[in-house]
Structure 1
Amino acid sequence: MSNARSPRSDYSLQTTVSTCEQPAWNLLFDSKDGFFNLTGFHNYYNYLHDRGSSLNGNYDIFVQKTSTRKAIHVGNSTFHTIDKVQDFLHEDFAQSVKPWVEELLESYRMIVYNGQLDIVVAYPLTLTYLQALQWSGAALYKTAPRYKWQVGHDLAGFTKTVGKLTEVLVRDAGHMVPRDQSKWALDLIYRLTTNKPFH
């Protein structure tokens, strides 16, 4: 067996080395193609939808309506979807804010929620993150029970609250919870802003 490398393996090695030198954000988002190649899915926001869909739904049309423009006081300004802020934050995206979250949990109420069908920020990954937080309620959080969260007669999801931290799993929703389950998302926000418990 020859030890000579094929041109293909040289290319792969070079590509791997180049990729490793990129900022973490670029590596993450270049992996979108890898996700498609492995799964055939264009949409990693909700695993029930293999094709991409507009993240904004009909939002673009809605904000261009005369009545909407008048209500939000934008005059004749042209609406554009621009990723400029996201572009400038690429390298910050992969930086941990865990110490900040731990400090904030000591004084401020926080809800961390995930859609059950989300691939890009999957619920099990969030649970792992929350379990690793070092704060005054950490030990209790690890053993606290989860409860059903009802909105009317609907089982909207499951929730756990310890101290100022509430964790929520939203059923039948992907990454865009307010788009996928708007009624339940509104209830979630209402409970957060009015300090109303989930069970």
Structure 2
Amino acid sequence: METLLNKNPVREALGVGDIEFVLCSTSVYQALLMDWMRNLETGIPALLEDGIKLLVYAGEYDLICNWLGNSRWVQAMEWSGTKEFGASPELPFKVSGSEAGLLKTYGPLSFLKVHDAGHMVPMDQPEAALEMLKRWTEDSLSKTRVELESLVSSM
């Protein structure tokens, strides 16, 4: 991946100039150290109350940010939709006709456990990760690509 992303034609297409891609940037790591071990969940309920969408996702084999721990803090978070989120079903997240994960969503809050992925979901499941981001930004995370295409074609 680093070799591909550092080829001149790819960097030109991405418009990044001479910036070299590195898998784990020490500069980014250093910049984020102030957020290390801070409880950022305390500010999230206010964002949800304002209708700001939040997607929390984790690979089912992630040992660093395990899906179960993430699922539990999301479920325990106190906001006006706590009960409804807790009662909402886990639905299959399908990509290209196959189940790529399990999705739980209510209002602006979504939690997705991505199957067969570890800490680096986009590297382990690139198609599922791309589809997750596309649907989330399109506000259609719980719909499949086929449902979206048929919706558009019926307009």
Report if TM-score (shorter chain) is over 0.5. yes
Q: 2:88 aligns with which of 113, 121, 144?
A: 144
Q: Partner amino acid for 1:195?
A: D
Q: 2:71 aligns with which of 127, 141, 144?
A: 127
Deviation, 1:141, is 1.4
Deviation, 1:98, is 1.3
Q: 1:79 aligns with which of 13, 16, 20?
A: 20
- Return the TM-score normalized by structure 1: 0.64
* Change beyond 3 A, Cα 1:73–1:148: closer
**Gapped regions of structure 2 (runs ≥ 5):** 144-155
Give the Cα separation in 1 of the matches to 2:21 and 2:100.
33
Residues 23-60 of structure 1, C-alpha deviation per residue, up to 9 Å, x if partnerless? xxxxxxxxxxxxxxxxxxxxxxxxxxxxxxxxxxx2x2
Residues 89-137 of structure 1, C-alpha deviation per residue, up to 9 Å, x if partnerless? 3242111111211111122111111111111000110012112211110
Percent of pairs identical after alignment?
30
* Change beyond 3 A, Cα 1:132–1:196: same
Deviation, 1:66, is 2.1
Give the Cα separation in 2 of the matches to 1:132 and 1:68.
43
Aligned partner of 2:113 in structure 1 is: 169
Give the Cα separation in 1 of the matches to 2:32 and 2:86.
32
Aligned partner of 2:10 in structure 1 is: 68
Deviation, 1:181, is 0.8
Q: Partner amino acid for 1:79?
A: E
- Return the TM-score normalized by structure 2: 0.81
Deviation, 1:173, is 0.8
Deviation, 1:84, is 2.1
Aligned partner of 1:98 in structure 2 is: 41
Give the Cα separation in 2 of the matches to 1:89 and 1:135.
27
Aligned partner of 1:191 in structure 2 is: 135
Give the Cα separation in 2 of the matches to 1:187 and 1:88.
29
Classify the secondary structure of the residue corresponding to 1:89: helix
Give the Cα separation in 2 of the matches to 1:78 and 1:89.
19
Give the Cα separation in 2 of the matches to 1:166 and 1:147.
11
Q: How many residues align?
A: 140
Q: 2:104, 2:110 within 8 Å by CA — same for their partners in 1?
A: yes
